[in-house]
Structure 1
Amino acid sequence: MMKKTLLINALIVTCGLGITASSFAHGGDVKQEDKQLKYFKNAGKMPVKTQLEQGVNAYFDDVVGSGDPQAPLSCGLFRIDKGNPLVYTYDYDDIKYVISGSILFNDGKQTVEGKKGDVLFFPKGAKITFSTKSAGLAWACGQRKLF
């Protein structure tokens, strides 16, 4: 299961520096007063380096998020490579769009192999096991603040 302490430590470190991981790596937080279009050319080719759990080849990096505290929205890239599965329980609604490769999603009742072009919805409270036969990349948008 994703170690929340790792996420909390990462948040403390990045907040202490006055930046978010996503603003450092990619596009960052879009403030409500900012009415300009944000463009991320070839976003699917951005590096995805932040490991979600030690010993699991699953990575996630935020690209952009809204600054609206009433309706937060954060989007980024999720990559998983062959190896140990990632088990994650969502505390927010999330959607993934598979960009390349394939990703196996299991909710304890069914296993779905998401392939390029597929969209999956994970409601708040869902416990999902992510794995792959080789590798997969997905665009993820969740109703949460930036990591």
Structure 2
Amino acid sequence: MAEAMTYYEKAVKTDLPTMGVPGVNAFLGDIAVSKDEDKTIVAGFYRMEKSDEPLVYEYHYHEMKIIVEGEMIISDAAGNEVHATAGDVFYFPKGSVITFQSPNYGIGFFCGQRKEGEA
């Protein structure tokens, strides 16, 4: 029997929980999770709002992200910096340290090679 697809209507409007980092207005929520125990992938949304401090995040897994709304300033430990807007795509390899900021707000859709809740 064929597997059925799963539909998440207006998922970009999901109320995301805070990441709980003091001084940082960052929110993240896992929306979809694969059923493959060996190669689990998770997809969801990340929202960054203007904050007193940037979010510095070390990736313990591989992730792809596309900016779907607003804008973010994204930089890495190698000194690269991008003013990202809707349609920009990023690959964050396992072990990378990435800094996120926003002059107002930005929303990114991500797909990561990790288990649910491990961000």
Query: Displacement, 1:55?
Result: 2.4
Relative CO higher for 1 or 2, CA cutoff 8 Å, sep ≥ 6? 2
- Relative to its length, the structure with more helix (as a share) is 1
CA change 1:113–1:63 in 2 (3 A) is: same
1:112 is matched with 82
Contact 2:55–2:100, Cα closer than 8 Å, also in 1: yes
What's the TM-score once normalised by structure 1's chain length?
0.74
Paired with 1:68 and 1:45, the residues of 2 have a C-alpha distance of 27
Contact 2:75–2:82, Cα closer than 8 Å, also in 1: yes
Give a deviation string over 1:92-119, Cα, whole Å, max 9, x none. Answer: 0001111100011110211111100111
Secondary structure, in 3 states, of the residue corresponding to 2:7? coil
One of 20, 28, 31 as aligned partner of 1:60: 28
Would you identify which runs of 4 or more consecutive aligned residues in structure 1 move more than 4 Å? Answer: none
Secondary structure, in 3 states, of the residue corresponding to 2:71? strand
Aligned-CA RMSD value: 1.6
1:90 is matched with 59
Paired with 2:38 and 2:20, the residues of 1 have a C-alpha distance of 26
- Relative to its length, the structure with more strand (as a share) is 2
Contact 1:52–1:60, Cα closer than 8 Å, also in 2: no
Give a deviation string over 1:21-78, Cα, whole Å, max 9, x none. Answer: xxxxxxxxxxxx9821100111111112232423210110100111212111000110
Matched length: 115
What amino acid sits opposite 2:24 in the alignment?
V
Gaps of 5+ in 1: 1-32
